[in-house]
Chain A
């Protein structure tokens, strides 16, 4: 839709750009030429005046030494030596009658006062621009010494012609360069446009062409390609998740549907109907539970919960979760032990951290087996990270499956038949990531050791928030997410 506008805008920008360059070039040329011209002009003129002065002086000396006759002889000799045509030499008496020199008469264009003048002289019938110096010698003799400067006129003309030529060449080169650059840039932008259009139409596998020349457009292409990689990855992630959601929600929904349909078809007695309805409610609760878990994951992924970070004692928090789960461990005949290392302060979301630790313990209890042992440990590691580890002596997870178990909805073969929706470890990982850390799964020989490693966080960067604001408020008023019918 903005095909037209964008290309017009582009055209106008390239033209404005090349026009600007041309104007700039001309201005620069003029700025360069003007002082040159000025310097040349002044130097030449000064030099010329000096020469005329020197000539006049020399002739005046002859006059003083040898009188008018001597000077006449001197000038005659000079003229007789055929001095260069551009030289003008004339001696006249007080009534301006020619005595000697290479002009036939005293030119009338020369002002009456002695001095340096630029005048038009008639040289051999051709009016010529000349610079002359008029001097009055004792006895009323007039001396005119000058130079025909018409010889320099072509030089001046050449200068200006050269300058004009340069301007023309510059303009042509500018326009040509502008067109060429525009064509080159347009070609690359066109290819970028084509690629982006293909991507907009839904084929995310396209990438912008890059020439590895490292220029600006190439850098831009690289950046955009990086962005596309990220987007593709995210979209694939979403696709995987939505496939899993479809699968995991479909199962309870299918059960629910068949349950209700069967009820509607068979119309059993009241008691049986009620039992089926209770079952249906349980099915719905399962769906809601999956939804809640997904929503919470989404909430964590967006990083919004970071605004609710407070100072938390990780050790105490873990101890409380252990205490919370210990009756459940007793029932399963699993020993749940907790190794404490004194208070360890971290900046975090207490609810999420507790839930993550709870998920790890819950998981460990599931797999520890009868008379098993589950060990929970919190430690401040040497690398300044805080590690909360939960180890069990169960069957463990094969190395090939380890990266998969944190994927959403993934359930290992060993977990089939155990309750859960396959989001527990995903949540732990998301919580760890939110707290600037990771979830590491290692072998406990036998069993699994899950280490949630987090950064102590904002404590270092100052502004630790104390657990008074959001937490106390939420605890008084029950603000936090809840699930229906556990």
Chain B
């Protein structure tokens, strides 16, 4: 992916650029609003990572608004220390696609970037999803692995659907909480892990090759490789 990072904090920039490059992405970065605006408007990017408070009179939100007004549809992830609900809503209303609060875990950023780029490509109107020999039908709400059909609760099905839509990508616990349960809070204990292990029981337990993997310090990934 080709990414643009607009961020004025040097240390955060170095950390994010290095990490993204190691993950195989190309990263441009701008340390002020004006340069960020110029790059975002002139180069094609897969995802833009935008800090909100920037030096140089142009703040992150006004860049996003300007881009959106000029018809630029590049997915934008807002990275900000402003964590109030009101601030988030403001950020998303201005045209941002996702909002990540500082401080953040790098795995979380990477996973969300993947999800954003995938969303922009548009997985379209698929009705059947497949990962390896696991197959789910979104219309009949049925899951089959190999020859065997797997009985899933509605919520388990939703969890599996989300994982399959993001197959091959790391999905964090927070992403699961937000997208599968629509919960936007910290549930204190490792409830998501318990749900995952239950799902794993159903789809992986009796099979030689496990599909659902735990990615240390980040989250989970469903993959057949």
Contact = CB atoms under 8 A, between A and B. Distances in A.
A284 interface: yes
A481 B88 contact: yes
Contacts of B130: none
B186 A299 contact: no
Nearest to B86: A304
Contact of A351 (B105, B179, B183, B190): B183
Interface string B103-147: 111011000100000000000000000000000000000000000
Interface in A55-73: none
A46 interface: no
B185 A354 contact: yes
Contact of A480 (B97, B184, B192): B184
Nearest to B104: A484
B45 interface: no
Contact of B189 (A328, A354, A478, A479): A328
B184 A482 contact: yes
Contacts of B178: 475, 478, 480, 482
A327 B191 contact: yes
A284 B103 contact: yes
Contacts of B185: 296, 351-352, 354-355, 358, 480-481, 483
A328 B195 CA distance: 8
B105 A484 contact: yes
A375 to B, nearest CB: 19
Interface of A: 278, 281, 284-285, 288-289, 292-293, 295-296, 299, 304-305, 308, 320, 323-325, 327-328, 330-331, 351-352, 354-355, 358-359, 362, 365, 419-420, 424, 470, 473-475, 477-486
Q: Which 7 A-B pairs have the closest CB atoms?
A: A480-B184, A355-B185, A483-B186, A327-B194, A482-B174, A479-B88, A486-B173
A481 B101 contact: yes
Interface string B157-168: 000000000000
A281 B217 contact: yes
B26 interface: no
A484 B98 CA distance: 15
A52 to B, nearest CB: 95
B77 to A, nearest CB: 10
Contacts of A478: 98-99, 112, 175, 178-179, 184
A328 B191 contact: yes
A324 B191 contact: yes
Interface in B197-219: 197-198, 217
Given A331-B194, A477-B98, A485 B186 contact: no
Contacts of A419: 188-189
B24 interface: no
B168 to A, nearest CB: 20
Nearest to A469: B89
A473 B96 CA distance: 12
B22 interface: no
Given A327-B195, A485-B217, A308 B85 contact: yes
A288 B187 CA distance: 15
Given A477-B92, A477-B98, A484-B104, A359 B217 contact: no
Given A362-B189, A484-B104, A278 B217 contact: yes
Given A358-B183, A478-B112, 12 more contacts: A278-B217, A295-B84, A299-B85, A305-B85, A324-B195, A327-B197, A351-B184, A355-B187, A478-B175, A482-B178, A482-B184, A484-B103
B217 A486 contact: no
Interface in B43-94: 83-86, 88-89, 91-92
A281 to B, nearest CB: 7
28 contacts: A281-B105, A281-B217, A288-B103, A299-B84, A304-B84, A320-B181, A324-B195, A351-B185, A358-B188, A362-B187, A362-B188, A419-B189, A474-B88, A474-B184, A478-B98, A478-B179, A479-B88, A479-B91, A481-B83, A481-B101, A482-B100, A482-B101, A482-B184, A483-B185, A483-B186, A484-B105, A484-B174, A486-B177
A415 to B, nearest CB: 13
Q: Which of B83, B108, B190, B192 has the most CB of A within 10 A?
A: B83
A479 B92 contact: yes
B225 interface: no
Given A359-B188, A486-B173, A328 B83 contact: no
Contacts of A289: 186
B10 interface: no
B98 A293 contact: no
Contacts of A352: 185
A324 B182 CA distance: 11
A482 B182 CA distance: 11
Q: Which of B105, B112, B174, B183 has the most CB of A within 10 A?
A: B183
Contacts of B191: 324-325, 327-328
Interface string B17-59: 0000000000000000000000000000000000000000000
Given A478-B175, A480-B178, A481-B83, A354 B183 contact: yes
Contacts of A292: 83, 186
A481 B184 contact: yes
A470 B182 CA distance: 13
Contacts of A308: 85
Contact of A295 (B83, B107, B108): B83
A420 B183 contact: no
A278 to B, nearest CB: 7
B14 interface: no
Nearest to A305: B85
A328 B194 CA distance: 6
Contacts of B177: 482, 486
B101 to A, nearest CB: 7
B2 interface: no
A186 B116 CA distance: 69
A330 B201 CA distance: 14
Nearest to A427: B185
A284 B178 CA distance: 23
A486 B174 contact: yes
Nearest to A298: B84
A327 B88 contact: no
B13 to A, nearest CB: 19
A470 B89 contact: yes
A331 B189 CA distance: 12
A435 B85 CA distance: 17
B115 to A, nearest CB: 9
